[in-house]
Amino acid sequence: MTDDAGQPRDDAARRVLFVYYSYTGQTQKVLDGAAEAFRQRGCQVHMAPIEFIDPRYSERFSRFPMRKVWPDMLSVLPAQNRGETGEIRTPDAVRAGDYDLICLGSPTWWDTVSMPLRSFLKSAEAAPLLDGKPYAVFVVCRRKWRGNLEAVRELADKQGGRFADSIHFGYPGGELPSLLSLASYLGSGEYRERYLGVKLPPTNISDGQVDQARKFAGKLADRLFGGRDATPL
């Protein structure tokens, strides 16, 4: 017997849902590592990537690398500053029943939670999913993570979620060099050592950070679920 995601169904297994937005794949990379740790502990893991289909922005974010990196990056800044939402689409896993843990993958957009994840957390779908359930936050950012985490927690708590834990992952380098490194990557799709005459620090998630995500998820699963033989919450 299989579940809605095609995985073998085990009625005693804990069900973990990852809801996230990942434009460049860096948040996805972190969550794949965390998902591996949950699976190793007997959990059923379901991935729910958010699609950003708002007509004001979807064309810019439908391709990678960006065609015009600075105009495309800056296009969402006013809406981000106002805390706006946009049109999104979520997979069936979001509506596929009860989960024991919700993991929220949250890239930082201009110092706060991205519009796609904000839109989900304010949606009618989020309330029945989060109400009374523990949730964990995985923040992936260039430099600033605290405002992102605080915004996600505020939104998730309003939907009835119970904060369990969080972890954040940043890119090396100071404020300006890391911004230029990110812009270079968004505009080219590859890491370059120099951009606009500036020597760049590495960008993107490292293998070591993926390992941190695995360890964090393993400890979280052990703490919440008490090991793979524990009965469901």
Flag residues of the chain having pLDDT under 70.
Answer: 1-11, 227-233
3-class secondary structure, 77: helix
**pTM score of the predicted model:** 0.88
**Ramachandran region, residue 139 (left: φ > 0; alpha: ψ -120 to 50; beta: rest):** beta
Residues 6+ apart with CB under 8 A from 71: none
Close Cβ partners of 47 (under 8 Å, ≥ 6 residues apart): 5, 18, 31, 35, 91, 93
Q: pLDDT tens-digit profile of 119-158?
A: 999 999 999 999 999 999 999 998 889 999 999 999 999 9
Written in H, E and C, the secondary structure of 193-213 is: CEECCEECCCCCCCHHHHHHH
Whether the Cβ atoms of residue 86 and residue 56 lie closer than 8 Å to each other: yes
**What does the pLDDT read at residue 204?**
87
Tokens of 227: 């090991």
Q: What is the largest CA-CA distance in the chain?
A: 58
Is it true that domain 15-173+205-221 has CATH number 3.40.50.300?
Answer: no
